[in-house]
Structure 1
C-alpha cells in the first residue's frame, strides 16, 4: 500500500476526527501526480507516526479521504460489512420499515458512498475515485449484509466528473423502474431510474411530518415540488387544495400519479419556479401555506452572491402570495449557506414587503443523515417554518 506523508502540523485536523486531507497538506515528492486515482494509502504525519488508511486522488484538491484511523486496517468485504451493519443498526432503531438513507458518506465512515434503501432494492451512488475503485468490494458487502433483490448504481452525479470518472447508471439484479413507499400513511411511487439523485428525498421526512399543524383546510403551494412530496403530505393532513410548481414535466407527471394513489386533486404548474411564482402573483392568486424547497443554489463559494439573491427572490415573491398570517416553509440544501444567512434573507425580504415575520420552527436533515461532528459540511439541510403577518 502507498504511504503518504503530511507536512509538519498538518495532522491536527485528522487527529480531531476529520476525514479529509487536502493536496497542499501533503509532503509530495516525485511521482505524486502519477499515483493512480483511487489507490488505497497509509497516511503518516511529519514524524512518521501512522494516522490511518484512506484513498487518494492526486488530481483533486481534496486529495485523501480517510477510511480508518487504524493504519493496519484491511479494507476488504468484511471491513465494509462491519461499517454497513453499524449504519443499519442505527436506521433499524429509527424506522419501522426498511425505507431510509442507509449510508451517508463521511458520517457513516464511508466517504464517497451514498446508499438509499427501498425495501429490498438499494440505490447506490459512488462519487469519488477511491470508492469507485472499491466498487466490487462495496457491492459484495451490500449483498452480504442486506441480500437485496436489486442494486441500482446511480453514478451520474456531477461530482464524479471532478474526480475524473464517467457518468453511468448500472443495474445489478432485479431493479424495477419504480418502487412504492409509505411515508406516514401517504403513498408515493418513486422513479428510481429517472428520478432526481437517488430517487427520493428522505432527508426532508421529519420536516414534512411537521406540516400537520399548519395545513388543515389550507391552500398549499409546493415550489420545486419534484414528485409532490410536500404537496401529498399536506393533502394527507387535510389541505383544502394542493398545487405543485416544477420545471420538469416527468416530475409533475409522477406527482400526478402520486396524487391518484392518494385520491387527491393536484394542480401542476410547469416552468421556472421564480417565473411561475411571479405569474401567480400577477394573477392575484393567494395561498395559506407555501413551501420553497429548491435544489442547492450555492454549489460553490464563488456562487454565493448570485445564490443568495436567488433565495431572496424566491422567498420575496412567496411572501407576496401568502395571505396575512400565512405560513412560509423556506429550505436550503446548500451547505455554503448558513442557517443564520437564510434567516437574514427572510427578515430582509419580510421588511421590504412591509410584512412581519415570526419564526415558528427550525428544521434540518433527518437522523438517517447524521452529522459528523468534525465535518460541518455534513450538516447541509436547513429550513424555517415562518408565519408572515
Structure 2
C-alpha cells in the first residue's frame, strides 16, 4: 500500500510526536490526494516523518499512522493494530471476565486516528471520525470479522464529522439491539436507537464502584440517559432510586433496562433545572446524587459557556445531597480539562454553601487508553465526593 505514495511536505520544522499535523503547517500539493488517502510525509528538510491519512479539506491535514519508513501501511498493518488492541482488552485487562461490552479500538490511543469500535456481545459498532478511517473501512471490517467470527456490524459517521472531513456516509439502518452484561447487570444496547454507539461502556468501572456505596441509600441519577447508574444502584440494594432525564426516548429504554434486572427505579422525564429547584424547595434530600450530562460543546469558543452550564447544574445538584452524602459528577466534554472541571466544582460548592471532600478523580475505563502526547483522547472526567455539611 506504501508503493509510490504521494509525498506531502511540511512548511516548518516538525519535532512533535503528536499524530495530528494541521493544515497551516502543510505545503499545498500540486495534485491534492482524495480525503483519507495514504501519503508519505516529509519535513521541510526532506527528512521522512511518517505515513499518514491526508485531508486537504480538514483543519487536521495529516493524521500520522506510522513513523518507521520500512513498515508497510497495508491491510496486514491494520489487522495487526486491531489485533493488538483486542489483545490488550482480553489478555491484559481481561474484560471478558466482567462484561461482553467494551471498547475494541479507541482512535489515537490504539494507533488509528479517527477509528472508534465498540463491542456489544455479537454486535460490533464502528464509528468513523476521520476520512482516513472511512476510506479504509472495508479493510477494517475484514480485520474485525477475523477477530469476531459471525459478528454483526453497525457503523456510523456523525454529520458534523462528515462535513469537517469531507466525506459522505449513511449509517447502518435497522440494526437489532444486543443485550449485554457487565458485573452481572444487564442492559439493552441499541445503536440504531437513542445513542449512536448503543450504550456508554466508558462508565463501566465508575458504575460498579459507585453502586457498591448505594446499599440501603436513597439515590438520585440526574441526566440518567438509559439508566446505567440508576439500574446499578437499584440492583446493589438502594432503598429508593430516582432517575431524571429530559429525553422521553432514553427514559423508555431506562425502564426496559430496569425490567431486565428485576428492579424498579422511578424514572422521570423532566428538565433537571426546574426539577432540582422544586426538589430543593420541597426539602428533598438524597444519600447519593449522580450528575452525568451529555457533551456540552465541540467548539473551543463555547468552553466558557459550557463551564457556566456545568456550574449551574452542579450547584443545584449539590443542594439536594444530604450532609455526609455522596456526589458523583461527570463531564464527557473533551474540550473541558480536568483542571477546569475541578475548579468549576470548587465554585459550585462555594455558591451552594456546601463543603465538598473529593474522594477520587477518575475517567473512562482502561479500554479507552490515551497516549501521553495526545491528551485530547482523554475526554471523560469523573469526580467522586462526600458532601460534609
1:168 is matched with: 170
Cα deviations by residue, 1:28-48 (Å, 9 ceiling, x for unpaired): 2444xx432112100011121
1:352 is matched with: 351
Relative to structure 1, is the Cα distance of residues 262 and 104 closer, same or farther in structure 2, using a 3 angstrom cutoff? same
Aligned length: 380
Q: Which runs of 5+ in 2 are unaligned?
A: none
2:112 equivalent to 1:110: yes
What does residue range 72-151 of structure 1 map to in structure 2 within 5 Å? 72-93=70-91, 94=93, 95=95, 96=97, 97-151=99-153
Q: TM-score, normalised by structure 2?
A: 0.93
Determine the C-alpha separation between the residues in 2 that align with 1:121 and 1:105.
19
1:190 deviation in Å?
1.5
Determine the C-alpha separation between the residues in 1 that align with 2:285 and 2:168.
45
Q: TM-score, normalised by structure 1?
A: 0.93
Cα deviations by residue, 1:89-143 (Å, 9 ceiling, x for unpaired): 0000211254210000011001111110122220001111111111111111211
Contact map agreement 2:20 2:64 (CA 8 A) in 1: yes
1:7 is matched with: 11
Relative to structure 1, is the Cα distance of residues 50 and 83 closer, same or farther in structure 2, using a 3 angstrom cutoff? same
What does residue range 220-369 of structure 1 map to in structure 2 within 5 Å? 220-369=219-368
Contact map agreement 1:294 1:332 (CA 8 A) in 2: yes
Over the aligned positions, Cα root-mean-square deviation in angstroms equals 1.7
Contact map agreement 1:112 1:127 (CA 8 A) in 2: yes
Cα deviations by residue, 1:332-354 (Å, 9 ceiling, x for unpaired): 11122121222221121212222
Determine the C-alpha separation between the residues in 2 that align with 1:221 and 1:137.
45
1:152 deviation in Å?
0.7
Determine the C-alpha separation between the residues in 2 that align with 1:191 and 1:300.
28
Contact map agreement 2:57 2:164 (CA 8 A) in 1: no
Determine the C-alpha separation between the residues in 2 that align with 1:49 and 1:262.
59
1:230 deviation in Å?
0.6
Determine the C-alpha separation between the residues in 1 that align with 2:248 and 2:342.
32
Q: Structure 1 segments of 4 or more deviating over 6 A? A: none
1:73 deviation in Å?
3.7
1:72 deviation in Å?
4.8
Determine the C-alpha separation between the residues in 2 that align with 1:19 and 1:90.
21
Relative to structure 1, is the Cα distance of residues 84 and 384 closer, same or farther in structure 2, using a 3 angstrom cutoff? same
Other structure's SS at 2:68 match: coil
Determine the C-alpha separation between the residues in 1 that align with 2:84 and 2:111.
10
Contact map agreement 1:128 1:163 (CA 8 A) in 2: yes
Q: Which runs of 5+ in 1 are unaligned?
A: none
Contact map agreement 2:121 2:179 (CA 8 A) in 1: no
Determine the C-alpha separation between the residues in 1 that align with 2:379 and 2:29.
36
What does residue range 170-249 of structure 1 map to in structure 2 within 5 Å? 170=172, 177-249=176-248
